[in-house]
Chain A
């Protein structure tokens, strides 16, 4: 059998596909972050905690209401999004006039409080959540075994990313949103309720984090700190893509998933670092990020 860059091509295809699947999670999470930053100028550090809450709400719904995965996929993001709306109304709203740092500090503090609360109640070991029966099993692609659930994650993530991008860039609602970011006073003069729009945008971004959490529950350990490690990587993704650029963060999410996947084959020990090295290099060459406007 011939070899490509030191490993059989079959193994390489497998690893590339896995990278793409992980990229799907990065894209989904960074999408919400970019949405919130791009339209609200808030650096939402509680995104990881909101992702964790999505997974936990799914588990709670299954455990206490016997609501299966598909129901949770709709209900859990709504619950988490609603909490996001409450946070925006009660707290974030007061910070729009201040420096970015205040929003960052508030959301970071909130993340610590939320994670600490879940840890206190549910402990650290995590909760079991099974893959829904209709998505169990997988297909043998010849070069690797592709679990049906992972295929579903990629499809769902792609659809959501493209859908969100289309809403922001191609619809009238998206145009209003973008206009409200540039000049809220003028947009209000046209009779558009800007504060409600902002609230719903934050809620929407948070709901996306919750949705990613539900999708992660069957394959990752559902525990109170599941978001805190991921969030740092996702921030790097957003920075590399260009703060606030939705398309940029989606493409970067998938791209970095691939790069990380390859690193796991050739130099596994470095796989947790590679993204940050890329971030440093990108910031040196293009400070606004790959897709950002300087």
Chain B
């Protein structure tokens, strides 16, 4: 190659780079991880989600279309007003292009409206509410890791099929608990089971003995826990203490994370059925990701952490394919491109923003079955994505043409 050719090549390359860069606003892609860094959900999302996002950016190469990719994070304290204020500041004056994690349904729904007004992207992995792909769906909004419907279908259906056909619900007395109870009760009835009663407990609540006794008196075969976090941990711990799990009644926890199992210990949590979007020990790819994640955080990733990684990676691929970071264009690409990574083997994004992927029905191992630290679950069944998630037409999402 002579000097002239080289110069021409370099000039061409520069022009192309310049052209591509012009499509990336401020010549930078900024990913905002808005999460609970200090409260109830800080273990199952929190700092781990920030690390997961950074890992995805590093694995992508740190640059997309020649523009640097940066991860920023903030603590929303599980409050809707704080989170929408941060989201406005990020989108309007700090050049943030996408907000992710968004644990806590009230937070996710508040940020969804801020993002919609600005045609900016939000990808929810943390929150569970199906409203995000229902009435509150948006052209630039996505729901990645799981939702209450998938939890209800996964655990509810499996338990009824195994003979657990009468249910009593212990429900946290706020929107999330009611939604989870409602979704699960519907699944139980659809599959031929019946709901014999429920008790709504205050949130948060430390002592469950009274409620457990009521559940015991109901003679239901299954006690469904429509709560999360410390409430779930306390309920399971005390159910064992009161001999409920040893006397024939079974617990079905409708939303539980591997960090909760870690906190309970296998002796207390053993045999519990749960649905999850990700398990670190499922295959070689998930193990490889989990190992790297654990080196950075000291913990195994939850499905939220894995979901954040997967969604950030897919978002960067979509920018690469669209050649721009403009919200609507990238959203269109996200809906087109299949999701293939360690989190979603064969995922697809629907018109309502739901990323449909296979879920796992898992059972907590007995202490003797656990061979190494964090070896907690055995996968009982892989639930195909189309069965796990609410059918598109049933969600009342205005974007879905009927």
Contacts and interface: CB of A to CB of B under 8 A. Distances in A.
A246 B163 CA distance: 53
Contact of B42 (A14, A123, A261, A264): A123
Given A126-B233, A149-B241, A221-B237, A18 B263 contact: no
A221 B242 contact: no
A264 B242 contact: no
B267 interface: yes
Nearest to A145: B243
B205 A272 contact: yes
A21 interface: yes
Nearest to B260: A125
B213 interface: yes
Interface stretch (B136-144, B181-189, B194-202, B277-285): B194-202
Contact of A268 (B211, B217, B247, B264): B211
Nearest to A10: B217
Interface in A223-240: 223, 225-226, 229-230
A268 B201 contact: yes
Nearest to B235: A221
Contacts of A138: 241-243
Nearest to A272: B202
Interface stretch (A29-37, A127-135, A281-289): A127-135
A269 B230 contact: no
A137 to B, nearest CB: 8
Given A223-B230, A269-B202, A130 B40 contact: no
A128 B264 contact: yes
Nearest to A263: B210
Nearest to A116: B38
Size class of the contact patch on chain B:
35 or more
A287 to B, nearest CB: 28
Interface string A146-165: 01011000000000000000
Contacts of A74: none
B267 A130 contact: yes
Nearest to A21: B209
Interface string B213-252: 1101100000000000110011001100111000100000
A261 B208 CA distance: 10
Given A18-B210, A126-B230, A269 B173 contact: yes
A221 B234 contact: yes
A21 B206 CA distance: 13
B204 interface: yes
A220 B213 contact: no
A265 interface: yes
Contacts of B247: 145
A239 to B, nearest CB: 20
A124 B42 contact: yes
A131 to B, nearest CB: 7
Nearest to A11: B217
Contacts of B350: none
B59 interface: no
Contact of B206 (A144, A150, A230, A265): A230
A130 B268 contact: yes
Contacts of A128: 263-265, 268
Nearest to B247: A145
Interface string A107-121: 000000000100100
Nearest to B44: A125
Nearest to B299: A123
Contacts of A119: 38, 42
Given A125-B43, A220-B206, A268-B173, 4 more contacts: A119-B38, A126-B263, A264-B201, A271-B202
Q: Which 4 A-B pairs have the closest CB atoms?
A: A128-B265, A272-B202, A264-B210, A125-B263
20 contacts: A15-B210, A119-B42, A125-B259, A125-B260, A125-B263, A126-B263, A128-B265, A130-B267, A130-B268, A219-B237, A220-B206, A220-B234, A220-B237, A221-B234, A229-B204, A264-B201, A264-B210, A264-B211, A271-B205, A271-B210
